[in-house]
Amino acid sequence: MTLLEVKDLAVEFTTAEGVVRAVRGVDFTVEAGRTLGIVGESGSGKSVTSLAVMGLHRGAAVTGSVRFQGTELIGAPEETVRQLRGRRMAMVFQDALTSLHPYFTIGDQIAEAHRAHFGTGRRAALARAVEVLGDVGIPEPARRAGEYPHQFSGGMRQRAMIALALSCEPDLIIADEPTTALDVTVQAQVLELLMKIQQDRGLGIIMITHDLGVIARVADEVLVMYGGAAAEQAPAETLFSTPRHPYTQGLLDSLPRLDAADGDPLHAIPGSPPSLLSPPAGCAFHPRCARYAAAPEEVRAVCTDGRPPLRLVAEQHRSACLLDPPSAGRTTHQEVTA
């Protein structure tokens, strides 16, 4: 069942220095019981995308279509979106310490969400909070519910955030870098928790991260973003085994390998991320792209001529590189190798 359908989502901010086009046309869908991983570096627009889906941008121009369980959210009245937020689609933020209110107890904060959506009484809402804290594996949940965020450890705080997201039994959870601020062992625990919850409840999850390791662990489908646009989209296994977009290839190449020979240099992608104030013409990646550099003039003209859309290059595998041969069944030609 399709939970979320995003088409051509674009987000623009107007700043003193000009218009920042943080997201420039992104499509994806999320199914119940499946995890979509959105991966990209800082500034790729992945967090902005998730906030746009939740309608949490203020003062930004959001265009395109976001359909959640059939309801169109872009342009919908605020009240409609508000009722969905927290109730049917919930968000888990990166830094639980700053994302939880320092003045209220954890129990209160979780209960508050429940009361806002269901109108439950204080006692019942608090009981629900204790219950969901237990679900996420926090020991002594009743006692913990009366404590403040600063009294929790990092990992527990993140679990508390997840509990908060779960409190109203949503259908979709958007996790924005939920493990970035945590130690590696704790990371693993939190990810496991999310997977278990997904299995138990059939939730759809959007996992946003810059860490390919996390993607490998939890994602069914992956969307790679660069410069505010989609670069590649494929099932996780396919992406890791046969990446088609030069950026994805670069990312995977830059991962240090245990089986590399001594003295092998690390491969970095040359250059730096684009400015979203004045992005490069055409494909945002072309200034750093080896494929572009190697291609002859007439062929590579397409790279600077408008933003390349995601095209099917293999089964269920899309890439936004126009220098990449299309899927079987279309005219094939010499594959341009990097």
Partner 1 sequence: MTAPLPEAAAQGAGAVVSAADPAPAPAAPPAPDPTGPAAGPADAAAGPAGPPASPWRLAWHRLRRQRPAMAGLGIIAFFVLGSLLAPVLTAISGYGPADTDKKALDLYLGGLPKGALGGAGTRHWLGVEPGLGHDVFARLLYGGQISLLVAFSAALVTTVIGVLLGITAGYFGGRTDTVISRFMDIMMSFPSLIFMIALLSVARNANRILLLILVMSVFGWPYIARLIRGQTLSLKHREYVEAARACGTSSARILFTEILPNLTGTIIVYVTLAIPGLIGAEAALTYLGVGVRPPTPSWGQMISDAVPYYKVDPMFFLLPSLCLFLVVLAFTLLGDALRDALDPKGSRA
Partner 2 sequence: MIAFLIRRVAGILLTLVVIAAITFAVFYLLPSDPAAQFCGKDCSADRILLVRQQMGLDDPVTVQFGRYLVGIFAGQTLGSGSYAVHCGFPCFGYSYQSAQPVWDLMMDRLPASASLAVGAAFLWLVMGLAAGVVSALRRGTWLDRTLMVGTIGIAAMPVYFTAMVLLYFVVGQLNLIPYPRYIAFGEHPFQWIQNLILPWITLALMSAAMYARMTRNSVIETMAEPFVRTARAKGLRERRVVAKHGLRPALTPVATMLGMDLGGLLAGALITESLFGLPGVGKLFADSLNKADQPVIMGVTLLASFFIVTSNLIVDVVYAWIDPRARLS
> What does the binding site for partner 2 look like in residue numbers (CB under 8 A)?
54, 56, 78, 82-87, 90-91, 93, 95, 98-103, 112-113, 116-117, 148, 150, 164, 168
Q: Phi/psi class of residue 329: alpha, beta or left (left: φ > 0; alpha: ψ in -120 to 50)?
A: left
210 interface partner picked from partner 2, partner 1, none, CB below 5 to 8 A per type: partner 1
- Shortest distance, position 154 Cβ to partner 1, whole Å: 17
Q: Which amino acid is at 307?
A: R
The bridge status of strand 229-235 relative to strand 317-319 is: antiparallel
What is the closest distance, in whole angstroms, from the C-beta atom of residue 85 to partner 1 in the complex?
12
Indicate the burial class of 298 (C-beta count within 10 angstroms; 0-12, 13-18, 19 or more).
Answer: exposed
Q: Smaller CB distance to partner 1: residue 269 or 276?
A: 276
Beta carbon of residue 25, minimum distance to partner 2 (angstroms, whole number) = 25
Q: In this complex, which beta carbon is closest to partner 1, that of residue 202 or of residue 271?
A: 271
Among partner 2, partner 1, none, what does residue 221 contact (CB within 5–8 Å per kind)?
none
Q: Which does 112 bind (CB under 5 to 8 A by kind): partner 2, partner 1, none?
A: partner 2
Task: Name which of 14 and 241 has its Cβ closer to partner 1.
Answer: 14
80 contacts which partner out of partner 2, partner 1, none, CB within 5 to 8 A by kind? none
Cβ 3 to partner 2, closest distance in Å?
Answer: 17
Interface residues with partner 1 (CB under 8 A) are: 13-15, 17-18, 20, 22, 42-48, 51, 56-60, 94, 177, 210, 273-278, 280
* CA–CA separation, 55 and 75 (whole Å): 10
Closest CA to 255 of 275, 272, 269: 269
How far apart are CB 293 and partner 1 at their closest, in Å? 17
CB 190 within 8 A of CB 205: no
Radius of gyration of the chain (CA): 21
Q: Which does 14 bind (CB under 5 to 8 A by kind): partner 2, partner 1, none?
A: partner 1
User: What is the DSSP code string of 106-157?
Assistant: HHHHHHHHHHHHH---HHHHHHHHHHHHHHTT-SSHHHHTTS-GGGS-HHHH
Closer residue to partner 2 (CB): 129 or 283:
129
Secondary structure (3-state) at 27: strand
